[in-house]
Amino acid sequence: MEKLPKLTIPVIIGIILLIIVVAKSSVTIKAGHAGVLYQTFGDGVVTDAPPLGEGFHLIAPWNKVFIYEVRQQELSEKMQVLSSNGLEIKLDASAWFQPLYGDVAKLHQEKGEDYLKRVIQPAIRSAARSVVGRYTPEQLYSSKRDAIQEEIFEETKKILDKQYVQLNEILVRDVTLPPTIKDAIERKLRQEQESLEYEFRLEKATKEAERQRIEAEGKARANSILSASLTDKILQEKGIQATVELAKSSNAKVVVVGSGENGLPLILGNN
């Protein structure tokens, strides 16, 4: 009974030490992350083996693991850049990116955990300045937003080539011009719209006048053809036919045959 406490204390100490060693020797990688192993008494960062994947891992207690998120992430940037004529333009953009899973160890070794500020932000800012500097404020305000978005993406992608980072998309959310320039552009656009509307009305009126002219000419030709075909004999025949039809009606009337102009029958009375 007296020896029991003496044996218990070392056991407890041993268990505590074991727990500490296990805690120092284990690491859990969350979903969407990867671990970079650093060997303190070895060659440092392990770059010739795949990174530690998701789940539980045991390592030597004197080694370290640096964890990186390898799924898609977003970086928002608000920049002030110059247009082609030297005016200051405010650009609000976002970048979708992710570290390359197989190269995350090299990213850690060459760029470090602060790779976002060291690599991605400078690349986006440089590309944005280069691209926006090719356009005027009018182009940026109206029709070139999609174009500059695509060009910034391509420029940034070239800069990030071989930097162990994959660029998925660049989104330009807003382009802000100086108020005076914006007002001038809007006035110009309104004037252009009014001019186009006036030209449309003028063209419509011209087409309507041309249609009426063609219609009138057609009617005139038809009347000319009809007049040429109506001879005196035809008119007399038509008059006789009309008289016969009237004579067949049930209404009381007096028909004088051979009287009236051109020898046509004359109808008197209608009761």
Task: Supply the pLDDT for residue 127.
Answer: 94
Contacts of 163 (CB under 8 A, 6+ apart): 107, 111, 119, 123
Spatial distance between the Cα atoms of 189 and 183, rounded to a whole number of angstroms: 10
Query: Average pLDDT by consecutive 10-residue portion of the chain (271 residues)?
Result: 58 65 76 93 90 90 92 92 83 94 95 93 93 84 78 94 94 81 65 71 81 82 71 65 68 54 52 49
- Residue 174 is predicted with a pLDDT of 84
Let me know: does 142 contact 185? Beta carbons within 8 Å.
yes
For residue 175, the model assigns a pLDDT of: 83
pLDDT of residue 17: 61
Burial-class residue 34 by CB neighbours within 10 Å (0-12, 13-18, 19+).
buried
CATH superfamily of 73-177: Band 7 domain (3.30.479.30)
pLDDT value of residue 264: 54
d(CA 109, CA 113): 9
Q: What is the pLDDT of residue 1?
A: 46
Q: Is 246 exposed, middle or buried (0-12, 13-18, 19+ CB in 10 A)?
A: middle
pLDDT at 60: 85
Looking at residue 52, its pLDDT comes to 93
- Contact in structure between 46 and 39 (CB atoms under 8 Å): yes
d(Cα 111, Cα 104) in Å, to the nearest integer? 10
Residue 212 is predicted with a pLDDT of: 83
Give the dihedral sign, CA 152/156/157/159. positive
Single pTM value for the model: 0.61
pLDDT at position 268:
47
CB-based contact 246:253 (threshold 8 Å): yes
pLDDT of residue 224: 77
The full set of domain ranges for the chain reads 3-69, 73-177, 181-229, 232-268
CB–CB of 165/100 below 8 Å?
A: yes
Q: Are 64 and 39 in contact (CB under 8 A)?
A: no
pLDDT given for residue 237 in this prediction:
66
